[in-house]
Chains A and B, each alone.
Chain A
Amino acid sequence: MAESKNIDFDKDFSVENEDTLKGKFLTFHLGKEDYGIEIRYVTEIIGIQKITEVPDMPAFVKGVINLRGKVVPVMDVRTRFSMEPREYDDRTCIIVVNIDEKSVGLVVDKVNEVADIPDKQIEPPPRTNMETSRYIQGMGKMGNEVKILLDVQKLLYTDDLAMMEL
């Protein structure tokens, strides 16, 4: 367990104030692109650790990990976006997000930084029929770079998972 890599967001934002967290995105690398998710969903970032596989799950649910005694399911965002799978290395991180009191870990290639992207720099998502564009909340512009901002809620709970549960 690479404890040293842990960033404790609870400490940094001890008062979970919607306003101070607004416009802040945690950016991470996935393949060639940069992505971002709203920081208010993120509880912590941990290094990759042993994932126990769970049978009968969609391919992108990698299994469960032990997060200090809590069992947290882990989703591989690459597989979720039907990208080429990639060997996990020491840069691979698990971003633990919390939605509706439920924790889920997201496996990403590399975590970058926390970036301020005000609303006016966010473009609406491209209108396509592509499967993955459903998870996109918007395109954030930072100088010359573009960050693909993901809608965590949709990423975690979309139809295909609901169908799985049936």
Chain B
Amino acid sequence: MGEHAIAPKAQAKPAPEKPAPAAPPPPPPRAEPTAAAPEKPAPEKPAPATSPAVKPAATPSAGGGAAAPAAASKGPAKRQDLRVDLDKLDQLINLIGEMVIAENMLIHNPDIAGLELENFHKAGQQMSKLVRELQEIAMTIRMIPVSGLFRRMIRLVHDLSHKAGKKVELILAGEETEVDKTVIETITDPLVHLIRNSLDHGLEPPQERLQVGKPEKGVVRLTARHEEGEVWITIEDDGRGLNREKILSKAISKGLIEGDGSDLSDKTIYNLIFQAGFSTADKITDVSGRGVGMDVVKQNVEKIKGKIEVTSKPGEGSRMLLRIPLTLGIIDGMMVSVGDSKCIVPTLAIREAFRPTDDAITITPDGLELARVRENFYSVIRLHEVLKKEPGSYKLSEGILILLEYQDKGICLFVDEILGQQQTVIKGLSDYIGNVRWVSGCTILGDGEVCLILDVGHLVEMFDGKES
């Protein structure tokens, strides 16, 4: 299959918009059935007969800064777009966010609490419904498909494969997936980096691939999809995979881990590549191997509250999964109380909540409390200690334990009470305060009070670190 590779194109370009300048477009050979796109495969220009099979279909748009908007303006069927100043849009979205709060303040106004106002309540309900709809729309306004971003990668892969003398097939899927614009901006660089890594470190040169019985042409697959209320972007390659031994020896020589590391899980080891200054590349190319990068990738992804996961099989390739929240503006939260203060816990992180019985709690000799949930033990974090507050009760059996999960690690958070679930509009804490541990932001409640949103990832990780 010498011609080209980018198989599925979700949004078929209207043919007249882009007449193929070169040869007549043959239907793309579907080498990759899994990279399914429900839409018809777009007729594509064949790549110039270069060795890398990347089809530079997006060359005109990939070059200029106009790439993203251009991509956003294409859609299935008839889609009409209007270019709007982003500031104006943000203002509108902020305003709607504030309206949600104001509406709450109005409906739950203490002045009318307890009064029988049938007509008012009817009108209020109507208003709530409208406001909710408005908010939902507002949240989708900023969403743009990832196709523009993916298209830039086509060009990148094309150039890199040339440079590295490797044959690469780039397969895109799920280009129509929509993500917040800020997310797109933030993950562009990490994505570029990950793809470079796949090409440079992951995929072997053609001869080596043939020797180990793989097709000469390497495959890099870039997919986006919605899953678990997040957007998952995966970068997979069928290269040599991460080298556990190499990472391990490097980590030991850098003093990152103690002992020989033989007891560490693959996952722990692979996560070492996100440490600053970590590179196992034997030779430094002008593309990669400089040891800066993966830590920056991680930082960038975490900036938008995303996560990154690595899986790899030696000889079969590696897979990077970016898990990114759908929107940055709003989360589903569970409001909990400790003493006289309230906090929001993101619902996504909550596995379950229960009132523990005394015999479900074990206290280790060094005072660590463990809660048994079926077969597993989780350490207990007391929220009142984190917030330095007076709790309603110090006894675990008189409060609620919330089992929180973050990247396969779990903790039980001890709170007084669960007050209810609600959609929360996230506001940043002021720049003046800067970053606060445990807290990812705050929101304004119906009664005008400011309520902190707990940073579950931080809680889990901090505690995990303490433990080991």
Contact residues of B between 413 and 455, Cβ < 8 Å to A:
427-439, 442, 444, 448-452
Does A1 have its Cβ within 8 Å of any Cβ on chain B? yes
Shortest distance in angstroms between A132's beta carbon and chain B's nearest beta carbon? 20
Are the C-beta atoms of A71 and B432 separated by less than 8 Å?
A: no
A55 and B439 within 8 A (CB):
yes
Q: Which residue of chain B is the closest to A69 with respect to CB atoms?
A: B98
Taking A71-B444, A165-B435 as given, write out 11 further A-B residue pairs in contact, using a Cβ cutoff of 8 Å, ordered by the A residue number. Answer: A52-B452, A54-B429, A63-B450, A64-B450, A66-B448, A71-B427, A71-B442, A73-B433, A102-B430, A156-B432, A164-B434
Asked whether any CB of chain B lies closer than 8 Å to the CB of A65, the reply is: yes
- In the assembled complex, 30 residue pairs joining A and B whose CB atoms fall closer than 8 Å, in A order, are A1-B448, A50-B449, A52-B442, A52-B451, A53-B387, A53-B389, A54-B433, A54-B436, A54-B439, A55-B436, A56-B436, A57-B433, A61-B433, A63-B450, A64-B429, A64-B430, A64-B442, A65-B450, A66-B450, A69-B97, A69-B98, A69-B102, A71-B428, A71-B444, A73-B432, A73-B433, A104-B430, A156-B432, A164-B434, A165-B435
B388 within 8 Å of A (CB atoms): yes
Of residues 372 through 413 on chain B, the ones whose CB sits less than 8 Å from some CB of chain A are 386-389
Among B431, B448, B452, the residue within 8 A (CB) of A54 is: B452
Number of interface residues of B (CB under 8 A): 29
Contacts of B389 in A (CB 8 A): 53
Top 4 A-B residue pairs of the complex, sorted by shortest distance between their CB atoms: A52-B450, A69-B98, A165-B434, A73-B430
Task: Give the Cβ gap from B238 to chain A, nearest Cβ, in Å.
Answer: 44
Q: Which of B341, B430, B435, B439 has the most CB of A within 10 A?
A: B430
B101 within 8 A of A: yes
B433 to chain A, nearest CB (A): 5
Mark contacts of A43-83 with chain B using CB atoms, 8 A cut-off: 1 yes-contact digit, 0 otherwise. 00000001011111100010111100101110000000000
Residues of A that sit less than 8 Å from B by CB:
1, 50, 52-57, 61, 63-66, 69, 71-73, 102-104, 156, 164-165
Q: How far is the CA of A64 from the CA of B427 in the complex (A)?
A: 12
Taken together as a complex, chains A and B put the C-alpha atoms of A69 and B436 apart, in Å, by 20
Q: Tell me, in angstroms, the Cα distance from A72 to B433 when the chains sit together.
A: 9
Q: Looking across the interface, which residue of chain B has its beta carbon closest to that of A50?
A: B449
Instruction: Give Cα A55 to B389, complex, Å.
Output: 10
Beta-carbon nearest neighbor of B454 in chain A: A55
In the complex, what distance in Å separates the CA atom of A57 from the CA atom of B452? 14
Within the assembled complex, what's the spacing in Å between the Cα atoms of A166 and B294? Answer: 22
**Shortest CB–CB separation between residue B154 and chain A, in angstroms?**
40
Q: Which of B66-106 contact A (CB under 8 A)?
A: 97-98, 101-102
A72 to B439 Cα, complex, angstroms: 16
**Cα distance A22–B341 when bound, in Å?**
42
Residue of A nearest to B97 (CB): A69
